[in-house]
Amino acid sequence: MDKRAAPSEPIVDYDIHKVLKALPHRYPLLLVDRVKRLDPMERIHAVKAVSMNEEFFQGHFPGAPIMPGVLQIEALAQSAGILGMESLGLTGSDKIVLFMGIENAKFRAPVTPGCLLDLEVELTQSRRAVYKFSGKASVEGKVTCQADFTAMIADPPES
């Protein structure tokens, strides 16, 4: 990411309306509810309120609901998308962030309804339009999953 494009001050109190401007995702796949803090070109701390009303709990698993690990990683990737869009001043544009790869994914603890899932992502490398991130999800300080991933900012696919 071009450091010249980044605002120098941290961004706080980033509500759902701003999340919707930064990401193209919508229900049922929007997995970020708000951002607690965003340090442009560095890191983001976002939150997902995990509710029993989530569609995936109907089948994962009836009687013992657990948030799928792949959705935790998707929530981390969406958080990274917000970090990228805000850092580059692209929020509200037609650009999108595309997930390119996952490495070192580890699942440490289950996430159940009623949890506040903290999503912490750090930018670790940038080259042209490709960015590497390291992320961890946690509940009350206990890590539930972690992964390194790669993404790129691109134009949306043509319809």
80: domain CATH number is 3.10.129.10
Query: Is 117 within a domain?
Result: yes
Residue 52 lies in a domain: yes
Q: What is the maximal distance between C-alpha atoms in the chain? A: 51
Cα–Cα distance between 34 and 15 in angstroms, integer? 5
The answer to whether residues 83 and 123 touch, using CB atoms and an 8 Å cutoff, is yes
Domain with 28, as residue range(s), is 3-154
Task: Please give the backbone phi and psi of residue 48, each rounded to the nearest 5 degrees, phi first.
Answer: -120, 120
Query: Does residue 104 lie within any of the structural domains?
Result: yes
83: helix, coil or strand? helix
- Residue numbers annotated as active site: 60
Instruction: Tell me, yes or no, whether 96 lies in a domain.
Output: yes
Residue 38 lies in a domain: yes
Tell me: the pLDDT tens digits for 36-46? 999 999 999 99
**Residue 147 is assigned to a structural domain of this protein:** yes
The runs of H, that is alpha helices, within the chain are 16-22, 69-87
Whether this prediction's pTM lies above 0.75 is answered by: yes
Mean predicted lDDT score pLDDT of the chain: 93
Residue 159 falls inside a structural domain: no
12 within a domain of the structure (yes/no): yes
The better pLDDT of the pair 22, 3 is held by 22
Residue 128 has pLDDT above 50, yes or no: yes
Domain tally for the chain? 1
DSSP state of 158: P
pLDDT in tens, 68-117: 999 999 999 999 999 999 999 999 999 999 999 999 999 999 999 999 99
pLDDT tens per residue across span 47-69: 999 999 999 999 999 999 999 99
pLDDT given for residue 7 in this prediction: 55
